[in-house]
Chain A
């Protein structure tokens, strides 16, 4: 007599074991492939699950008023020094279609709305390093077409600046060779993630180095100069 209970076929047994194994393998594969994306998705998910408020707003303060003044110098007392997350100018490279608002600070709000100067570097005219970050899929996507000799224009409320591209380089994000925050000569560094047009997050950065050509030098910064 046949037993009334359901018999599980050997194939079905395989199906019971194989699908979870496949799903697990797929999960491992996707986690490995999209880890940064998933971690960001998780952090965004956390936004809904935790009490901690995450600022995803795009709002920012703007103190930029274009000027036609082409003086060689500008007095520090005439400058409204930008604080973090404030737009205080714009940056354009006509030759490669870069046209972005320029912020002080390079956190989420500046990079969502334009490009941002690292707060541990300085504003144009200060005579030191200006380190500017921008996303490779938005405002700094055009950097892939930048060439030596191209002109970078920065407009601020206190003066207009021109820089000439001297070279481009690719470094790891953790490399300290890519910038010198102690430099005593004005130098502009633009960077974005590399390779361009990659959706996932990358280890490498594309750096554009430029030297100052024109624009007002800020004077009267220190008491002894006043």
Chain B
């Protein structure tokens, strides 16, 4: 009896670990969300698409998680509501949306992110979205340009700035000393 019980417990543990095992790739739930994201909204006869950069970032993130059917259902419902909302604004593009309409759109994004225990925040102008995990790791970030600033590595910038400041100070000190001497010489002549 003991052996049977131990066997059942072992089977249960193995079974549970199989269920929770993470499968890389895009499962059908994740694929349905990606397809839904690719469906355009109709704004005054114009088809408005979610930028590829957002969809690609979502796809890369989905490769690292396992979305359930229930989660996908909730997210797809929110995406549908956001699409309807865009159509109801009477505007012909996202650029034309008012501040409050953009806020509403961000709220839809936040609600969709919350389904996956993520939080979405908009940039100061409510035009870009950043999605992060509970522990602060970035999942989607469109708050910066796609093509980054790849000039001087930022750790050298303080040194450059200090150099510029030193040159400026040197010029000022040298200039003032020179002017003081000139002035003293003028007084002596008088």
- 0 or 1 for each of B106-149: is its CB under 8 Å from A? (1 = yes): 00000000000000000000000000000001111110111111
A sample of 7 inter-chain contacts (CB < 8 A) reads A37-B157, A111-B148, A112-B153, A174-B145, A198-B152, A205-B150, A223-B26
With contacts A81-B64, A179-B146 taken as known, whether A137 is within 8 angstroms of B161 at the C-beta atoms is no
A128 vs chain B, min Cβ distance (A): 8
Cβ–Cβ contact A223 & B157, under 8 A: no
Residues of chain A within 8 A of B24, CB atoms compared: 76-81
Q: A38 at the A/B interface (Cβ < 8 Å)?
A: yes
Q: B155 at the A/B interface (Cβ < 8 Å)?
A: yes
Q: B23 at the A/B interface (Cβ < 8 Å)?
A: yes
Q: A95 at the A/B interface (Cβ < 8 Å)?
A: no
How far apart are the CA atoms of A174 and B145 in the complex, in Å? 8
- Contacts across chains A and B counted by CB atoms under 8 Å: 165
A-B pairs, 8 with minimum CB distance = A41-B161, A120-B53, A76-B25, A181-B52, A193-B151, A201-B151, A81-B63, A40-B157
**A interface list, Cβ under 8 A from B:** 9, 11-12, 15, 19, 22-23, 26-27, 30, 34, 36-38, 40-41, 44, 56, 76-81, 83-85, 104-108, 111-112, 118-123, 128, 131, 133-138, 140, 173-175, 178-179, 181-182, 191-193, 198-202, 205, 220-223, 226
Nearest B residue to A34, CB-CB = B164
How far apart are the CA atoms of A26 and B53 in the complex, in Å? 43
Cβ–Cβ contact B150 & A111, under 8 A: yes
With contacts A41-B158, A121-B56 taken as known, whether A137 is within 8 angstroms of B152 at the C-beta atoms is yes
